[in-house]
Structure 1
Amino acid sequence: MTSSRYDAKFLHSPPAKAATIRARPLPPRPPTVNRWLAALALLCLLLPAAGATQAPAVALFYGKDAPLAELKAFDIVVVDPDHGHDPQRYCKPYSELYAYVAVGEAHPGRGYFAAIPAAARLAENRDWGSLVVDLAHHGWPDFVAANIVGPLWERGYRGFFLDTLDSYRLAERFDEAAQQAGLVAVIETLHRRFPGIRLILNRGFEVVPKVRDKLQMVAAESLFRGWDAANKRYVDVRAEDRDWLLGQLRAVRDQYNLPVLAIDYVDAQDRALTRATAERIKALGIVPWVADAALGTFGIGQREVVPRRVLMLYDGREAPTVDLTALVRYAAMPINHLGYATDFHDLNRPLPDGPLTARYAGAVLWTNRDALRAPAFAGWLRRQIDAGLRVAVFGHFGFPLDAANARALGLAPVTPPAAPGKPTIAHQDPLFGFEEKPRPDRRALPPLRLAGDGGQPLLQLADAQGARYDAAAFTRWGGYVLDPYTVITLPGSEQARWIVDPFAFLQRALALPAMPVPDTTTENGRRLLFIHIDGDGYPSLAELPGTPIAGRALLEQVIEKYKLPTTMSVIEGEVAPHGLFPKLAAEMEETARRTFALPYVEIASHTYSHPFVWFRAERPAARADDAGYHLRIPGYTLDLAREITGSVDYIRTRLAPPGKPVRVLLWSGDAEPQANALRIAEDAGLLNLNGGNTVISRSNPSLTAVSPLGLAKGGVFQTYAPVMNENVFTNLWTGPFYGYERVIETFRLTGSPRRLKPINIYYHSYSASKQASLNALHKVYAWALAQSPHVVFASDFIRKARDFDGIVVARDGDGWRIRGDGELRTLRAPAALGRPDPGASLAVAGHAAGSEGHYVHLAGGDALLRFAETPAGRPYLHDANARLAAWQADGDGLRFVLQGHQPLDFALAGSRGCVTRADGRPLTPRRSDGDLQHFRLDHAAATIETRCRGR
C-alpha cells in the first residue's frame, strides 16, 4: 500500500509488486483436517466485528513471506491474497486475515484483469503501471463481487480492505457524484451478496455517511509520515495536509462511532522513528500501523511485537546433521530458556536477505573455522550489523579478520609473535569461570583486540612481551567468545564444560529485553511430569516368576499400578505376526490391546523396523545397502512412509480400540529424523517426540549436557525428549540395571537453580524385564510423584513445545499481550518487571514465586498481562495440579474449572475470609499458610467458586 502521488487528500496504494504470484495448489486434506478447518471457518464467520466495542489492533503485510505467526498479535491482519495464504488455517479466536482488494484500480498481474470490460477502463496510474477503473460503470459492482471478492470468499476470507477508492481522480475527466455513487453501489452489493462481510475502507470519506452501517473501520495513509512514489523517498506530511486528514478521521470516529486507522510509512531500518510515529498516532486515539512503503516488513501498530526468534548460523560441513552442531548441542538450550525460538540456517546456503531486525531478536554464529565456503558472508554480516541486528559469535567469525573486516566490527587485528611465551590472563570478567576456568593457550592466542569506543573486554590475554589479545568482548553490535574459551572438552572423556556463562553472555550480547518468558516446564505453578515409553524389548522374556514377556510385566507391574497418563508405543516389526517373533505375536498383540484400551494410556508408534540412523533413510543410495541400520526384517528395505504411516496403520487397525487415535510418533535409534521423515509424520497428523541428549548428573554436572526444546527441519518442529532414557544410565543396557534411578539427579539438576525441563520419565519396555530395573522405575515414579507435579500426556507437552515455537509476546500499552494456541499456559516473569497483577490483567489466573521470578498462569491462548507494585487485593490461583478448563474473575471472586489426572490439589491466594465451593458444595481448606489456602479433592475435575463478599 504505497501512495500514487503525494497529496494528503487522495493518497491510495495498490500493493507494490510487478506480478501476481500464484501459489501451488495444496494437496487434499484428510477428513479430520477438513472438519477442523470447517470449524475454524465457522468461528471466523461468527467473530464479532472487532470495532463494535473497541478499536481492533490492525497490521498490514503485503509481502509474499508474511510472518503470520508473529502477526497473530494483531486482531486484523491485511494481506495480499494472491500470495496463497489460507485464511481458514490461520484463523484464531482473536485474529483473522483480511484480503486486500483494489476497488478503483487493477494491476495487469491480477487474475481478473483481462476480464475487465473495456467500457470500465477509465485511466492509467503510471506510478504503479495499473489501470484506473470507472466506478460509475453499471456493471462494476457485480464485477467486483463475482470476479474479485467472490473467489476470496470461497477461500475463506470474511474481511476485506477496500483500497484505491478515489483513483478516479487521476483521470482527466470524471463525474465526482457518479463515481461516489458507484462506490456506494459496490459496498451495498458486497453486503447483499455476502452476508456477514466485514469491510475496512481506505479513505472514501465522502461515502462514509451513506454506508456507515456496513463498515467496520475506516483507514487513511500518511498522517505524519508518507511515501513520495514519484521520487521514491520517505517524507514528512505537510502540516496543512495532516490537519485536513486528522479532521476527516476524527469526524468518522466521533460522528459515526467507527474506529479509524492511520497507516504511515518509515524506512524499515529506522525502528526508533517507526516506534515514535506509532506512538504519536496512538496518542490521538487512532489505531496506528507504521511500516515500510511496500508494506513488506514487520511494522509497529497498536502493539509492538517483541521479536522472539533468533537466527542460528552454522557451517553444515562441520557435522553430519544440524543436531550434532555445537549450535544445537550448546547454544540453543540457553536461547530457549531465555524465551526465544530458533531458526537454524546453514551458511553454505543462500543467506537471508532484507531487514531482519523486526523479525529476529538477534543472530548467533558458531563455527570452528575462519574460512567458510560462503565468501559473501563477511559482507552480509556487516550489512546486517549496520541495519541494527545484534550478533553473538562463538568459536570463530567464519571469515579472516583482516584490517578491513576487523575495522568494520570495531576490532583491530593483532599478530602474535613467533615465540609468545606463556600467556597470562590480564582481565577476566565474572562471566568467565562458569563451569570451568579459562586456561590460556599460547597455540590459540586470538589475533585481535577491541579498537575504539563501544566495547568491553571480557577475557583479555597477555603474552610474555605484554601484548594484549581480547579473546572475548562485548561490542557495539553484540559480542564474541573465541575458541578455546567457549566450551572445553574434558581430556579423556566425552564431557564438556561451559567456560563462559551462556545465559548472561547471550542476554547482554543480544540486548534481550526483560519480558514475560514462555515456559514449557510448568503449568499453574507446578512442574510438569509426563511419561513415555519406547517399545524396544516388548517381546523380551522378563527375569520374573513365570517369565512373562516384558510388555506384560510392564503393563501389570507399572502401568496398571500407577494409573498415570502414559504414552506407550510398540515397534510393529517386533510385535506383529509378520515381524521377527511370530510365535510370541499373539500374546504381544493381546497385551498391547489391553494396554491401549486403558483410558490413561495414549497410543504411539515406535516405527516399523526401528531405524538406527535416520539420515541414511533420506538418502536413496544408503537405503540400497541398509543392513545393520534397522531391525533385519526379512525382505524389507527401509522406506520412510512404511516406517511412519505404515506402522501407525497397523496399530490403528489391529491394536487400538475403535475410535482411539494413534497420536504420537516416537523416533527410534539416533532420533535424528530429517525433513522428509518429519514431513511424513506431520502430514499424517502425528505429533513427534524424541531426540536430544539431556544427561546432566552429579558425574556430569554441566549445562552442556542439557539439550534444547527441539528444532525445526523443513518447516516441521521436532520436539526433543526433555530427559534421556534408561539406556544411557545403564551403559547401553549392560548394567548396572538399577542405573535409571540416577535420572533423579537429572531431574534435580534441571529443576534448580533454573527450572530447565519438566520431569520426564522416559524408558523402554525392556526395563520391565529385570527386577533391578523395575525397582529403579518404582523409585523414580515415587520421587516424581512426591514433587506434587502437574501430570500430563506426552502429546500435551509436545503441543506446548510447538506453541512455544510460535507464541507471540507484544507490548500492549502498559501491559504485555500474549497470543498462542492456548497449549502453553505459563510465563516466567523476571523480577525486574514487577509483581503480576491478575486483577488488572485479562485471562491471567494467578502466579507463584520461582527461583527466576514469578510463574504466571494463563487461562487461555489470548492474554493481557499487567504488573503493579501493589496489585489489587483479590483472590487468585496460586498453584494447581490440573489444567484450567474455564476461568472467570469478577469483582468479588472467581469461578473456574480444573481438569486433571489425579485428585485435585490446589491453592488460592488472597482468599482468607472468602467462601470456596467445589461443584456447589462448601470446601474447607486442608491448611492455611498466611495468605494461602490449600485445598484437596478426591476427584480429578471440579468447578470451583470463591466469593469474597464485602471487599
Structure 2
Amino acid sequence: MRIRRKPGSRISPAITGRSGRWPGSVQAPVFSAVPSFLPLLPVTSFLLLLLLFLPAAARAGPPSSDGHRSLLVLFGGTQSTMDDTAFRMDWEFPLNYLGMKAAYDNVTEKRPPPVRDLSLYRAVAVSLSGRIRHPAALWTFMEQALRRGKRLIVLGDIPTYRAGDGVPYPQAVRTLARMGFRRMGHWESSSLRYSVLKNTMDGFELPPPPLPPTFPPISSLRADNTVWIGIRSSNPRNRGIVSTPVVTGPFGGLALDPFVTRNIPLSPGKEGWIINPFLFLEKALNLRNVPRMDLTTLNGSRIFYSQVDGDGFDTLSQYRQGRFCAEVLYREIFTRYDLPFTVSVIVSQIDPRYQGTKSRVKWARTIFALPNVEVASHTFSHPFYWNPTAIQRAEGPTHIHIPGYHFNLDQEIRISLDWMNRHLVPPGKKVMLYQWSGNTRPPAEALRKVREYPVLNMNGSDTRYDGDSPSYLTVFPYYRQVGGYIQFYNSDANEFILTHDWTGPYFAYENILDTFARTDSPRRVDPVDVYFHFYIARKEASLHSLQRVLDRVSRQRIAPLFASEFVRVEDGFIKARIRPVSAGRRTGWTISRYGRDTTVRFDHASGLYPDFSRSRGVLGFRHRQGSLYLFLALRPSSTVFLTRRKPAVPYLRAATGYLLFSRPSGHRVAFTYRGWVPKNRLSFGGFSPGEKLTVTPCLREHCDFRAGHSGRVRLAGLSPNVSYHMEPSP
C-alpha cells in the first residue's frame, strides 16, 4: 500500500504523531518540562475586509449542491468510512484540481439513494472494495443514472455481477450494455500481452508492468469508446477477446485495478499513477471545455500563506541559547520578513491557571501585537485523537496531561477562545482561526462548535510531492466534509514530516521547496503554504532551513494572505456555482457564490481570451501552462464569455492581492488595491505600446508611466484602500 500518514499512531511518550500519511496533521514533539504545542495565529493587515467576510464564511452551512460540479461517489465493502475510501485517497485531489467536488454515500449495508437525487450531481462514481449487501439495487441505480443522461465511472473493480445461483443480474447485463461493455472471457494471469497502450494515458508517473498482471473478463464493444489499455491472451479459452480495463467514452469511464497505480520500484510501500488521473477524469466527466474554480492563484499570482503550530513555544533554543523558541521566531522570522504569518498557541500551555506562565503570556501578546501576525488557536489541550477508540485510550493519554482535566469540547473551543480574546489578543484583533491538532480528524460536533463560535478552521493535510514522495498520490484533497460541516485543509507538509518525525536531518524542511516546485509545474495544483512549529527554532539547521525557504518564496510572484483569508478562498471554491448561459449563438457561464475565490481556469485554452464586451465582472486574465486564468471581481456573480480575439481594452494582467477595478471609458481605469502592502505589485495590459499614462494620486512620488512595447504597465508602491485613477497623459 502507498505511504500515507495515517491518523493517530503514538510514536513515543515524548513525540506523538501519525505513522502513516493520511489524513490529518502532525503532532509535534514535546520539548519543555510542561508539554507545549502550538500552531498558527492569524493577524490581519486588511482587517476591515476580513471582518466584513468572516461571519458569512464562519456561519455558513454545508455547501449548496451544484449539479455541474458535484460527483456522487458510492463506496462500500471493506471501506468503512469516507476517509478510508480509495476514491478519497487517490481520486479526490485530481477531481478537485478539475474544479469538481465529491459527495460520498456508503452502500455497504444500505441501498443507493433515491434516483431523484441524481439531479444534484453531474455524474456517479462507483468505487467498491469487497461485497455489499444489495448489489442488484446498485446495478439498478447505475442503470437509472445512465438512462437520465448521467455519466458513470467505475473504479477499482466491477460490482458483483452474478446472484448467488450464478446467474447474472439482468440489470447488470443491461447497464454494461449501455456502457458499451460485455462480460467476456475468463480471469487469468499468464500468457498475456498488451494489445493497446495509448501513451497519452498510460505511463503517467510509472509505466505499466512489462507484462499484464491479469486479464479482467470485460470488453468494450462500442466504436465511440476509447480503449486506453487493451490485453490479449494466448490461452485458447480467451483467444480473440480483448480485455479492456481502462476505457473512457460517452458513458463515462472504467479504470480497473491493478492498471491504475503500481508500486514504485525499490521503494517499498510507495506507489505512483500508471494512468493520467487528470486526463481520465476530464474525459470521463466530459470536462474539457468546462471552467474550473481554482484556489491556487489570486489575480495571476500564486497564493502564499504561512501557518505556525505552537508546539515548542517555551522550549529553550539550542541555537540561540538562553532564549525560548517563541522569542527566537519573534526576532528572526516574524519581525524580519515582510510576510503575513498566522500564529497559534495551545491555551493550556499559556494560561497561568493551568500550565502556562506570565512569561509565556508576555511573549504571546508580543507576537500577536505584530501587524503581520494573525491570531489563531491550536486548541486547549492539544487532543491527539478527536474521537479516540478504546485501543487508543488504552495506549495512554489522548491529549496533553493537565491535572484534573477531562476532555471537553466546550473547554477546547469556546472557553479557550474566549480566554485568548480577553487575555492575549490586542485591541483591534481577535482570534481568526482554529487549527486542529493531533490526528486532525475532528467529528461533526467539534466542527459545529467552531463554526458557531464563530471562527474559521484549518489543518488536516500533509501534502508533499518530492524525491521521497514522487507522486500526485501524496497530494491531499482540498477539504473534508463531515456531517454537513467543512474541515478546511492546509496545503503543504510541515517540518515534522520532512525531518522524519523530528528525528533528523534537521535541515530537511528546505526540501519543501521541491514540493512547491512540483505542485506549480507542469500544472499549478496548490498554493504555497509555509507550515512550521515554534520548535523549528530549537536547532540551527532547522531555523536556517526555514529562512532559506522564506528567502526563496519572497523572490517569487506571490499573493500573500493570512491563513484565515485562504480558508475563505477554499470556502468560495466549495460554494461556487457555475451555470451555462447563452447570448445568441454564443455560450458563456455565470459564476456565482464564489466569495473570495476569484479565479476561474480554462484548460486547453492558450488561444482564448475573455470577451470583455460581453463578460461582466471579469477584471483580467493570464495564460499559463496552456490554461487561461480569469480574474473575477469581488461581487455576488460574474458572467464569462470567451473569444479568440485579443482584447483591445485595458485589463488586469497580474496583482499580488485583491483589486477593485473599473474602466470608466477608453483607456481610463480606476482601481483600489486590497492586498499585502509590502509585496504589492500590479500589472495592466491592453494599452497602446509606448502610451503615456498618469496615475493619481502618485505612487511614491511617481505620477507618470509609459506602457511597454507589449502594452503593459507595471505599478508598485500602492497604499491599501486608496482609490487610484490612471488615464492617458495630456
Normalising by structure 1, we get a TM-score of 0.64
Give the root-mean-square deviation of aligned CA atoms: 2.8
Distance 1:507 1:919 in 2: 47
Q: Which of 648, 668, 683 pairs up with 1:907?
A: 683
Asked if 2 retains the 8 angstrom alpha-carbon contact of 1:610 and 1:668, the reply is yes
Residue 864 of structure 1: how far off its partner (Å)? 1.6
Aligned match of 1:935: 715
Describe the shift of the 1:622–1:649 C-alpha distance in structure 2 as closer, same or farther (beyond 3 A): farther
What secondary structure sits across from 2:463 in the alignment?
A: coil
What secondary structure sits across from 1:678 in the alignment?
A: helix
Describe the shift of the 1:907–1:442 C-alpha distance in structure 2 as closer, same or farther (beyond 3 A): closer
Aligned match of 2:657: 882
Asked if 2 retains the 8 angstrom alpha-carbon contact of 1:926 and 1:934, the reply is no
What secondary structure sits across from 2:304 in the alignment?
A: strand
Asked if 2 retains the 8 angstrom alpha-carbon contact of 1:306 and 1:810, the reply is no
After TM superposition, list the pairs within 5 Å mapping 1:272-287 onto structure 2: none
Distance 1:679 1:765 in 2: 28
Aligned match of 1:49: none
Distance 2:261 2:716 in 1: 47
Describe the shift of the 1:666–1:387 C-alpha distance in structure 2 as closer, same or farther (beyond 3 A): same
Distance 2:395 2:411 in 1: 15
Distance 1:718 1:929 in 2: 47
Distance 2:703 2:119 in 1: 50
Asked if 1 retains the 8 angstrom alpha-carbon contact of 2:673 and 2:718, the reply is no
Instruction: For 1:355, give the aligned amino acid.
Output: R
Asked if 2 retains the 8 angstrom alpha-carbon contact of 1:878 and 1:908, the reply is yes
CA offset digits 1:154-179 (Å, max 9, x no partner): xxxxxxxxxxxxxxxxxxxxxxxxxx
What secondary structure sits across from 1:628 in the alignment?
A: coil
Distance 1:730 1:660 in 2: 34
Aligned match of 1:338: 98
Distance 1:622 1:648 in 2: 30
Instruction: For 1:655, give the aligned amino acid.
Output: L
- Which stretch of structure 1 is more off in the superposition, 786-795 or 872-881? 872-881
Asked if 2 retains the 8 angstrom alpha-carbon contact of 1:875 and 1:894, the reply is yes
Asked if 2 retains the 8 angstrom alpha-carbon contact of 1:883 and 1:898, the reply is yes
After TM superposition, list the pairs within 5 Å mapping 1:404-423 onto structure 2: 404=170, 405-410=172-177, 411-416=181-186, 421-423=190-192
Distance 1:553 1:571 in 2: 18
Q: Which of 831, 851, 861 pairs up with 2:625?
A: 851
Describe the shift of the 1:699–1:622 C-alpha distance in structure 2 as closer, same or farther (beyond 3 A): closer
Please state if 1:379 is matched with 2:140: yes
Please state if 1:486 is matched with 2:260: yes
Asked if 1 retains the 8 angstrom alpha-carbon contact of 2:77 and 2:129, the reply is no
Instruction: For 2:89, give the aligned amino acid.
Output: R
Asked if 2 retains the 8 angstrom alpha-carbon contact of 1:881 and 1:906, the reply is yes
Please state if 1:586 is matched with 2:368: no
Instruction: For 1:434, give the aligned amino acid.
Output: F
Aligned match of 2:34: none
CA offset digits 1:335-359 (Å, max 9, x no partner): 1111112212222355322335543
Asked if 2 retains the 8 angstrom alpha-carbon contact of 1:926 and 1:936, the reply is no
Asked if 1 retains the 8 angstrom alpha-carbon contact of 2:146 and 2:251, the reply is yes
Aligned match of 1:279: none
Distance 1:872 1:880 in 2: 18
Residue 791 of structure 1: how far off its partner (Å)? 0.5
Residue 674 of structure 1: how far off its partner (Å)? 2.4
Q: Which of 101, 124, 127 pairs up with 1:366?
A: 127
Identity of aligned residues (%): 28
Residue 644 of structure 1: how far off its partner (Å)? 2.2
- Which stretch of structure 1 is more off in the superposition, 512-521 or 741-750? 512-521
Q: Which of 634, 638, 642 pairs up with 2:403?
A: 634
Asked if 1 retains the 8 angstrom alpha-carbon contact of 2:115 and 2:141, the reply is no
Structure possessing the higher radius of gyration over alpha carbons: 1
Describe the shift of the 1:495–1:919 C-alpha distance in structure 2 as closer, same or farther (beyond 3 A): farther
What secondary structure sits across from 1:923 in the alignment?
A: strand
Distance 1:610 1:316 in 2: 34
After TM superposition, list the pairs within 5 Å mapping 1:706-745 onto structure 2: 706-745=475-514
Residue 375 of structure 1: how far off its partner (Å)? 5.5
Please state if 1:758 is matched with 2:532: no
Q: Which runs of 5+ in 1 are unaligned?
A: 1-34, 41-65, 71-304
After TM superposition, list the pairs within 5 Å mapping 1:124-163 onto structure 2: none
CA offset digits 1:848-883 (Å, max 9, x no partner): 111132211111232122222224411111111121
Q: Which of 451, 455, 458 pairs up with 1:686?
A: 455
Please state if 1:794 is matched with 2:568: no
CA offset digits 1:48-86 (Å, max 9, x no partner): xxxxxxxxxxxxxxxxxx99946xxxxxxxxxxxxxxxx
Residue 432 of structure 1: how far off its partner (Å)? 1.0
Aligned match of 1:558: 333
Distance 1:672 1:680 in 2: 15
Residue 656 of structure 1: how far off its partner (Å)? 1.2
Asked if 1 retains the 8 angstrom alpha-carbon contact of 2:77 and 2:132, the reply is no
Describe the shift of the 1:837–1:643 C-alpha distance in structure 2 as closer, same or farther (beyond 3 A): same
Please state if 1:309 is matched with 2:104: no
Aligned match of 2:367: 595
Distance 2:675 2:211 in 1: 56
Q: Which of 577, 586, 591 pairs up with 2:352?
A: 577
Higher helix content, 1 or 2:
1
Asked if 1 retains the 8 angstrom alpha-carbon contact of 2:320 and 2:328, the reply is no
What secondary structure sits across from 2:336 in the alignment?
A: helix
Which structure's relative contact order is higher, taking Cα pairs within 8 Å and 6+ residues apart? Answer: 2
Describe the shift of the 1:860–1:510 C-alpha distance in structure 2 as closer, same or farther (beyond 3 A): same
Describe the shift of the 1:925–1:709 C-alpha distance in structure 2 as closer, same or farther (beyond 3 A): farther
Distance 2:253 2:136 in 1: 22
Residue 480 of structure 1: how far off its partner (Å)? 0.7
Distance 1:788 1:942 in 2: 23
Describe the shift of the 1:719–1:943 C-alpha distance in structure 2 as closer, same or farther (beyond 3 A): same
What secondary structure sits across from 1:399 in the alignment?
A: coil
Aligned match of 1:96: none
Normalising by structure 2, we get a TM-score of 0.83
Aligned match of 1:393: 154
Distance 2:655 2:398 in 1: 45
Please state if 1:613 is matched with 2:389: no
Distance 1:316 1:649 in 2: 44
Asked if 1 retains the 8 angstrom alpha-carbon contact of 2:409 and 2:446, the reply is yes
What secondary structure sits across from 2:122 in the alignment?
A: strand
Describe the shift of the 1:409–1:498 C-alpha distance in structure 2 as closer, same or farther (beyond 3 A): same
Describe the shift of the 1:909–1:316 C-alpha distance in structure 2 as closer, same or farther (beyond 3 A): farther
Describe the shift of the 1:412–1:811 C-alpha distance in structure 2 as closer, same or farther (beyond 3 A): closer
Distance 1:579 1:501 in 2: 52
What secondary structure sits across from 1:561 in the alignment?
A: coil
Asked if 1 retains the 8 angstrom alpha-carbon contact of 2:572 and 2:597, the reply is yes
CA offset digits 1:682-720 (Å, max 9, x no partner): 122121111123111133221111111112111111111
Asked if 2 retains the 8 angstrom alpha-carbon contact of 1:539 and 1:575, the reply is no
Describe the shift of the 1:324–1:694 C-alpha distance in structure 2 as closer, same or farther (beyond 3 A): farther
Asked if 2 retains the 8 angstrom alpha-carbon contact of 1:645 and 1:680, the reply is yes
Asked if 1 retains the 8 angstrom alpha-carbon contact of 2:382 and 2:438, the reply is yes
Describe the shift of the 1:936–1:552 C-alpha distance in structure 2 as closer, same or farther (beyond 3 A): same
Residue 528 of structure 1: how far off its partner (Å)? 0.7
After TM superposition, list the pairs within 5 Å mapping 1:534-545 onto structure 2: 534-545=309-320
Residue 725 of structure 1: how far off its partner (Å)? 0.8
Instruction: For 1:884, give the aligned amino acid.
Output: L
Distance 1:821 1:475 in 2: 31
Aligned match of 2:648: 873
